[in-house]
């Protein structure tokens, strides 16, 4: 029988999505996942509401097929809202977004596990309000290297006038995020992000890379700056990840990061208890003088 959560009828609520949900925990069902997103919505929607998003869907759970979907199809539930966005080819296409807990739960009803968001909100799509660097380590590197890199890159960003907050990805890495005032466009955001990552890789080539090929990442951390392009997405804070143990992409304070041993340290229960953990997400200003200072450093 369907179970109603946040007004949404959840079919097959007993279906096991995760065989385990962390050490000592039983499996996580479809209804359990929906209840998590219902409960976490007040926290998650602070960053995820009103943004075009991509959904990682696993209709049969972790054991079945998985696929990303950004263009809503026929039969999408009404709480998962739709908008038209003009793409690079000049054609308009439908995109999904959510505004409330019902939207998150309705996405789970469709088999969604992960939510990935644009760096701009739908009211001003050409004015991004997030700068994101994804620190993605080579398979051979431990989390200690990622942690040290996050702290080092925070220092470099602060030297330029921006102070990021950190988020465990629930996978292997850490995101550095700066909430921005919407004063610059995509080209300037992308230019700054690429320049910053390139400068870091140039200064410490044995530690960082901006090359996309797996071979070039051997023993290094890939500074993924591509999250800062129009149409690109990054995993939303408080999204569950489709990985064993149902880890959560969770924000944490810099003092906590120094004591954290894995990017999968936060499970759904911990995420609900921790919330934003006092993180300061007030918008900062990425200025043209900052961009120029970075360009000057690259030219030296």
* Res 90: pLDDT: 87
CB proximity list for 37: less than 8 A, separation 6 or greater = 44, 101, 104, 105, 107, 108, 240
* Res 89: pLDDT: 86
* Res 217: pLDDT: 84
In the chain the domains, ranked by start, together with CATH numbers, are 3-117 (3.90.920.10), 124-300 (3.90.920.10)
Alpha-carbon distances of 100 from 29, 42, 44, 156, 292, rounded to whole Å: 22, 8, 10, 36, 39
β-bridge pairing 221-224 and 208-209: parallel
Residue located via tokens 């400068």: 199
User: What SS3 state is found at 22?
Assistant: coil
Q: What is d(CA 154, CA 67) in angstroms, rounded to the nearest whole number?
A: 33
* Res 24: pLDDT: 61
Residue located via tokens 């890379």: 209
- Structure-token pair, residue 15: 């279906």
- Please classify residue 210 by burial: count the beta carbons closer than 10 Å to its beta carbon, then call 0-12 exposed, 13-18 middle and 19+ buried: buried
Q: What is d(CA 88, CA 291) in angstroms, rounded to the nearest whole number?
A: 25
pTM value is 0.96
* Res 122: pLDDT: 97
Stretches where the chain sits below pLDDT 70 are 21-24
Give per-residue pLDDT as tens, 155-191: 999 999 999 999 999 999 999 999 999 999 999 999 9
Give per-residue pLDDT as tens, 113-170: 999 999 999 999 999 999 999 999 998 899 999 999 999 999 999 999 999 999 999 9
Do 55 and 76 meet the contact criterion of CB atoms below 8 Å apart? no
């Amino acid at each position: 029988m369907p179970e109603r959560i946040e007004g949404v009828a959840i079919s097959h609520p007993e279906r096991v999505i995760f065989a385990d949900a962390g050490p000592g925990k039983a499996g996580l069902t479809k209804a359990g996942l929906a209840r998590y997103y219902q409960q976490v919505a007040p926290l998650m929607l602070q960053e995820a509401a009103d943004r075009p998003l991509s959904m990682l869907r696993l209709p049969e759970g972790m054991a079945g097929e998985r696929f990303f979907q950004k263009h809503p199809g026929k039969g999408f539930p009404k709480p998962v809202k739709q908008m038209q966005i003009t793409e690079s080819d000049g054609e308009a296409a439908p995109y999904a977004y959510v505004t409330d807990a019902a939207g998150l739960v309705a996405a789970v009803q469709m088999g969604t596990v992960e939510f990935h968001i644009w760096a701009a909100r739908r009211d001003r799509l050409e004015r991004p309000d997030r700068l994101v660097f994804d620190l993605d380590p080579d398979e051979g590197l431990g989390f200690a290297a990622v942690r040290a890199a996050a702290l080092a890159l925070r220092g470099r960003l602060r030297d330029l006038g921006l102070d990021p907050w950190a988020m465990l990805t629930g996978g292997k890495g850490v995101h550095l995020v700066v909430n921005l005032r919407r004063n610059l466009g995509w080209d300037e955001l992308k230019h700054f992000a690429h320049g910053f990552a390139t400068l870091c890789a140039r200064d410490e080539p044995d530690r960082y890379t901006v090359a996309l090929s797996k071979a070039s990442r051997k023993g290094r951390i890939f500074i993924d700056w591509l999250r800062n392009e129009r149409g690109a997405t990054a995993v939303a804070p408080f999204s569950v990840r489709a990985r064993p143990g149902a880890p959560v992409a969770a924000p944490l304070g810099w003092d906590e990061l120094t004591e954290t041993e894995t990017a999968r340290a936060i499970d759904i229960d911990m995420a609900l208890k921790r919330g934003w953990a006092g993180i300061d997400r007030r918008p900062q200003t990425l200025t043209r003088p900052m961009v120029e200072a970075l360009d000057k450093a690259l030219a030296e």
